[in-house]
Amino acid sequence: MSLIAQAAAPRRLARSRFTFDRLEVLGPLFIMPAILYVVVLVGLPFLLALYYSVSAYSIFNPSYTFVGLKNFREVIDSEIFRRTLANTLIFTISSQIIGLLLGKIGAMLLMQEFPGRRLARALIVLPWAVPVSLATLAWVWMFDSLYSVINWTLVAAGLIDAANRPQWLGQEDLAMIAVAVVHAWRLFPFGVVIFLAGFTSVPQDVLDAATIDGAGFWRRNYQIILPIIAPIIMIAVIFGTVFTFTDLSVVYLLTKGGPINSTQVLGTLAFQVGILSGDVAHGAAICLFLFPFLLVAVILLLRSLRRREI
């Protein structure tokens, strides 16, 4: 090798190292796996849903026939869909409120010093760690009309009559409460973690100054702590709304949308129509109704978050 070639080799190596050290090169490389994940698992199914939603495709009619927006009009005109949409909003809002409220209470308790606090913090994540199918089946047993631990406890406490035990999953007025409580139970660890992160970010000197000025427990919480951690709570609401609005596992395992569609949500309706009934076109159209509602909800929440930051 000539002296010129030997001198050029380190320069090429240095130039290559400099290229990969630049942020505009490393940034896209690091984010590429996440982009591929979104494209493959979200983008392609979304495009397929668009493709089938404007057709008459079904298991019994596998030929592709373009029908335009006919499926969307039929879905909107369906009374079951309108009730399902209302159920989805009720399920999402109620489980979010219950989950975040319980999460705030749990985080406030875990901020205190008491024996076994570390063990309690570890056990908090159990609703997340346990598989959703196993946990939901346990709740099915707890809500059972004959063997319900909840009913036995209420009877023993004298709060209900043993001859008129409530059918938690069989009565229209109780079924939605039951599924919302179970989903809130699954959101509970998420709420605890979010509020713990928020509480630890509040400067202690601010709380001490408020205490010196005579601010009590409630005033410190609602006039100091909550405004400071509001951006963190908004992020939790955004993620929780997306997860809840698109969830079907809890509702399907508990009630399958019954009784009489009283707990039917968009996810379970799309699954029953598109997969179980084989009507892929209408099932895809129902799925696509999730997108605009989620988009509007996220935009409103982000605007609210931006106004708070300003």
Contact by Cβ (8 Å): 248, 268? yes
Burial readout 211-249 (b: 16 or more C-beta within 10 A, e: otherwise): eeeeeeeeebeeebbeeebebbbbebbbebbebbbbbbb
pLDDT score of 307: 66
> 251 with 182: CB under 8 angstroms?
no
Taking the C-alpha atoms of residue 147 and residue 153, their distance in angstroms, rounded to an integer, is 11
Under DSSP, the state recorded for 66 is: B
pLDDT number for residue 3: 45
Q: Provide the pLDDT for residue 285.
A: 93
- The reported pLDDT for the residue numbered 255 is 92
pLDDT of residue 253 exceeding 70: yes
Tokens of 184: 């809130």
Does a structural domain hold residue 201? yes
Identify the domain containing residue 116 by its residue range: 78-309
The 10 Å Cβ neighbour count of residue 283 is 26
Burial (CB < 10 A; 0-12, 13-18, 19+), residue 16, is exposed
User: Crossing angle for the helix pair 23-38 and 3-21, nearest 10 degrees?
Assistant: 50
What is the DSSP code (8-state) at residue 224? I
Which of helix, strand or coil describes residue 55? Answer: strand
Task: Work out the pLDDT band at 184, boundaries 50, 70, 90.
Answer: very high
pLDDT digits (tens, 9 = 90+) for 83-120: 999 999 999 999 999 998 999 899 888 888 888 888 88
Residue 242 lies in a domain: yes
Position 2 scores a pLDDT of: 53
Task: Identify the CA nearest to 107 among candidates 169, 198, 38.
Answer: 198
* Residue 143 included in any domain: yes
pLDDT of residue 308: 59
- In terms of pLDDT, which residue wins out, 162 or 74? 74
pLDDT digits (tens, 9 = 90+) for 5-29: 454 445 554 455 555 556 666 777 8
Q: What is the average pLDDT across 38-63?
A: 87
User: How far apart are alpha carbons 156 and 288 in whole angstroms?
Assistant: 47
CB atoms within 10 A of CB 139: 21
pLDDT of residue 21: 59
Is residue 261 assigned to a domain?
A: yes
Tell me, what's the pLDDT at 231? 82
Number of domains in the chain: 1
Residue 301: the pLDDT is: 74
Helices (H), 40-130: 44-53, 70-77, 79-110, 117-123, 126-129
- Residue 178 reports pLDDT greater than 90: yes
The answer to the question of residue 234 being in a domain is yes
List the CATH number of the domain containing 115.
1.10.3720.10
Q: 117-171: per-residue pLDDT in tens?
A: 888 888 888 888 888 888 888 899 899 877 888 888 888 888 888 778 888 898 8
Q: pLDDT (tens digit, 9 = 90+) per residue, 281-303?
A: 999 999 898 888 888 877 877 77
Does residue 304 or residue 10 have the better pLDDT? Answer: 304
pLDDT digits (tens, 9 = 90+) for 200-245: 888 888 888 888 877 787 888 888 888 888 888 888 888 888 888 8
Instruction: Answer yes or no: is 65 within a domain.
Output: no
Q: Is residue 90 part of a domain?
A: yes
CA separation for the pair 120, 113 (Å, rounded): 11
Evaluate whether residue 28 is within a structural domain.
no
Which pairs from 48-53 meet CB under 8 Å and 24+ separation?
Answer: 48/284, 49/284, 49/287, 49/288, 50/284, 50/288, 51/284, 52/280, 52/281, 52/284, 53/281, 53/284, 53/285, 53/287, 53/288
